[in-house]
Structure 1
Amino acid sequence: MPATSPASSSSERRHTSQGRERKQQLIEAAVTLFSERGYSATRIADICEQAGVAKGLYYWYFPTKHDLFVELVRTMRRRLRQAQAAGMDPNADPLTRMRQGAEASVRFIAENASYFSFVEVERAETEMSGLLREGSDVYLRDVLALVDEAQQDGLVPDTDPTLVAIGVVGAVSSFTNAWRNGRTTVSADELASFVGDWVTNAVGGQTVNGMAAP
């Protein structure tokens, strides 16, 4: 088999890079339009126009609009987990990592508020609910692992770890929903710090303003 010349290899790499860029352009355009119009009201032609990509190329990357939606959700899920991992000190104790992960989650959700607002609307759709729940289940499993570790280290009371993990995930979701809906005017960083404090106090069984945390 003949060796690939440097020129052809470089051309192939450029094409691959360009392909990834076009695919990302379509995903980003979909985020914008889905957030503004909703999934059902957004046409493939609209996404292509927003992305500046020919409609024929769209089908090279995504056979249907649903396939793009699946890719979008999984891309955002991967980016969220990357943000969580980057925000956690691997040498810290599990309760601290739980707090850091919650804070990183709040900041990521705040930075991508339009996407998460859209997801909340689409979650009610039966066709989408299973896919969207996958992300919540992944986060729940990650937190549950930290709760188990923290209980073994004596940092968290010996209560039902699943309920504790649900509480952490629920706190991140509830507080960020309230922030996105304008029910509080604190900054994203202030919200992240508050949620981090809440998680530490509630999960660690400490006190908040002299009262036992739930």
Structure 2
Amino acid sequence: MIHLPGNRRPVTHPKGERGRRTRQQLLDAAEAAFGQRGYFATSVADITRRARVAQGTFYVYFPSKQAIFAELVRHLNRQLRHTIQEAVHGLDDRLAVERKGFEAFLRFVATHRDLYRIVMQAESVDPASYRWYYRHFAEGYVRGLRAAMDAGQIRRLDPEALAYCLMGIGNFVGLRYVLWDRARVPRRVLDSLFDFIAQGLVAVPPTGE
């Protein structure tokens, strides 16, 4: 793991519109550079060249390459969760939430194809960010599953274990079809996936003795 020196300043979050645009340009450039070249083969100069900003500008927003990498992992996580939240907004049925959520995740992966490689690199580059990425995603998932269990919509299981199981399904389906085949997930695959999930989640009425 690459540690930031304790006396280095933190990542800057600009308040002005111009500053926010520049910061986003740097994050977009970092996403492309880290995804295509890898963390260790990428330099700050590579990022600023892609972002079309001066190298000195980089340090206005990020103290180091490691700092922008860690922020990028969090940024992608926030973007992904926002995309899914928008897709499921207004839905009350948990099975409908699962389907729309999975579809939103797969669309996000299709437009952010470097997501997998960046997150996998985080395991060795910044383990804390790697764990944060999955744990933070799972926390919201657990809350939704627990609420659905309390409402009797799905079976009462360990919500955290269930969240990670469902996250794993989405992760590997996206890897297999979106990343490897560079295509949309076939409808037959989605139907099989959701039939499997529905059969596993559906609440079973209690039986009499």
Range into which the TM-score falls when normalised by the shorter chain? 0.7 to 0.9
The residue that corresponds to 1:11 in the other structure is: none
Following superposition, the deviation at residue 24 of structure 1 comes to 1.2
Q: Does 1:112 align with 2:112?
A: yes
| Superimposed CA distance per residue, residues 160-187 of structure 1 (whole angstroms, 9 cap, x where no aligned partner) | 33222221111111211222452x5751
CA distance, structure 1, for counterparts of residue 91 and residue 113 of structure 2:
30
* Aligned-residue CA RMSD (Å): 2.5
Stretch of structure 1 that moved more, 46-55 or 99-108: 99-108
Stretch of structure 1 that moved more, 59-68 or 128-137: 128-137
Give the number of aligned pairs.
Answer: 189
Partner AA of 2:130 in structure 1: L
Contact 2:155 2:202 in 1 (8 A): yes
The residue that corresponds to 2:184 in the other structure is: 187
**Alignment gaps of 5+ in structure 2:** 1-14, 205-209
Residues 1:130 and 1:106: Cα distance change in structure 2 (over 3 Å): same
Partner AA of 2:155 in structure 1: P
Contact 2:33 2:47 in 1 (8 A): yes
Partner AA of 2:156 in structure 1: D
Q: Does 1:160 align with 2:158?
A: yes
Q: Does 1:139 align with 2:137?
A: yes
Residues 1:193 and 1:140: Cα distance change in structure 2 (over 3 Å): farther
Q: Does 1:96 align with 2:93?
A: no
> Normalization by structure 1: what TM-score?
0.77
| Superimposed CA distance per residue, residues 164-212 of structure 1 (whole angstroms, 9 cap, x where no aligned partner) | 2221111111211222452x57514746665444433332279xxxxxx
The residue that corresponds to 2:5 in the other structure is: none
Residues 1:93 and 1:84: Cα distance change in structure 2 (over 3 Å): same
CA distance, structure 1, for counterparts of residue 69 and residue 171 of structure 2:
21
Partner AA of 1:40 in structure 2: F
Identity %: 27
Give the structure with higher Rg (CA): 1
CA distance, structure 2, for counterparts of residue 32 and residue 204 of structure 1:
40
Residues 1:57 and 1:192: Cα distance change in structure 2 (over 3 Å): farther
Contact 2:77 2:133 in 1 (8 A): yes
Partner AA of 2:68 in structure 1: L
CA distance, structure 2, for counterparts of residue 189 and residue 73 of structure 1:
28
> Normalization by structure 2: what TM-score?
0.79
The residue that corresponds to 2:4 in the other structure is: none
CA distance, structure 2, for counterparts of residue 24 and residue 68 of structure 1:
11
Partner AA of 2:112 in structure 1: N
Residues 1:159 and 1:140: Cα distance change in structure 2 (over 3 Å): same
